[in-house]
Amino acid sequence: MDWGMKNRLSQIIKPDTNRTVMLAVDHGYFLGPTSGLEEPAKTIEPLLPYADSLMLTRGVLRVSVNPGSSTPIVLRVSGGNSILGEDLSKEAITVSVKDAIRLNVSAVALSIYVGSKYEHQTLKNLATLVSECEEYGIPVLAVTAVGKEMVRDARYLSLACRIAAEIGAHFVKTYYCEDFQKVVKTCPVPVVIAGGKKIAEKDALKLAYNAVKDGAVGVDMGRNIFQSKDPVGMIKAVRQIVHENAKPEDVFRSLKL
Ligand code: 5RP
Is 185 one of the catalytic residues? no
Question: Which pLDDT band, with edges at 50, 70 and 90, does 151 fall under?
Answer: confident
Give yes or no for residue 237 having a pLDDT over 80. yes
Q: Give the pLDDT band of residue 216 (cuts 50, 70, 90).
A: very high
Domain tally for the chain?
Answer: 1
Q: Is residue 257 part of a domain?
A: no
Kindly state whether residue 217 falls inside one of the protein's structural domains: yes
Q: Is 88 in the pocket of ligand 1 (CB under 6 A)?
A: no
Lowest mean pLDDT among 3-17, 105-119, 147-161: 147-161
Mutation to probe ligand 1, out of 108, 143, 199 (largest number of atoms < 8 A from CB): 143
In short, whether 24's Cβ falls inside 6 Å of ligand 1 is yes
From 148, 173, 202, 229, active-site residue: 173
223 CA distance to ligand 1 middle (Å) = 8
Confidence (pLDDT) at 145: 86
Report how far ligand 1's centroid is from the alpha carbon of 36 (Å): 13
In a domain, residue 157? The reply is yes
Q: Which among 194, 189, 191 is positioned nearest to 220, based on CA atoms? A: 194
pLDDT top residue among 105 and 145 = 105
Reference 172, options 114, 244, 235, 88; nearest CA is: 114
Average pLDDT over residues 231-257: 97
CA 89 – ligand 1 centroid, Å: 14
The protein residue with its alpha carbon nearest to ligand 1, atom 13, reads: 143
Chain mean pLDDT for the chain: 97
Q: Compute the radius of gyration of the chain from its Cα atoms.
A: 17
With 0.75 as the threshold, say if the pTM is over it. yes
Q: Is 222 near ligand 1, meaning CB less than 6 Å away?
A: yes
Over residues 57-72, mean pLDDT? 98
Does residue 176 form part of some domain?
yes
Q: Beta strands 107-112 and 53-56: pairing type?
A: unpaired
Q: Is the pLDDT of residue 243 over 90?
A: yes
Strands 218-221 and 20-24, sheet pairing: parallel
Strands annotated E in the chain: 20-24, 53-56, 73-76, 78-79, 92-93, 107-112, 140-144, 171-174, 191-194, 218-221
Nearest to 206 by CA among 190, 192, 224: 224
pLDDT at 146: 78
Whether the predicted pLDDT of 35 surpasses 90:
yes
Q: Taking 90 as the threshold, does the pLDDT of residue 137 lie above it?
A: yes
pLDDT for the residue 55: 98
Domain with 17, as residue range(s), is 3-252
Identity of residue 156: Y
Flag the least confident range among 33-47, 141-155, 214-228.
Answer: 141-155
At 1 the pLDDT is: 77
Helix, strand, coil in percent for the chain, rounding step 5: 45, 15, 40
How many separate helices (H) and strands (E) can be counted in the chain?
12, 10
**173: CATH:** 3.20.20.70
Residue 249 exposed, middle or buried by CB count within 10 Å (0-12, 13-18, 19+): exposed
- The protein residue whose alpha carbon is closest to atom 2 in ligand 1 is 27
In a domain, 231, yes or no: yes
Burial environment of residue 242 by CB neighbours within 10 A (0 to 12, 13 to 18, 19 or more): buried
* 188 contact partners, CB below 8 Å, separation of at least 6: 162, 165
Q: How many CB atoms lie within 10 A of CB 138?
A: 23
Cα–Cα distance, 233 to 57 (Å, whole number): 25
Percentage of the residues of the chain whose pLDDT score is greater than 90: 96
| Residue 15: inside a domain | yes
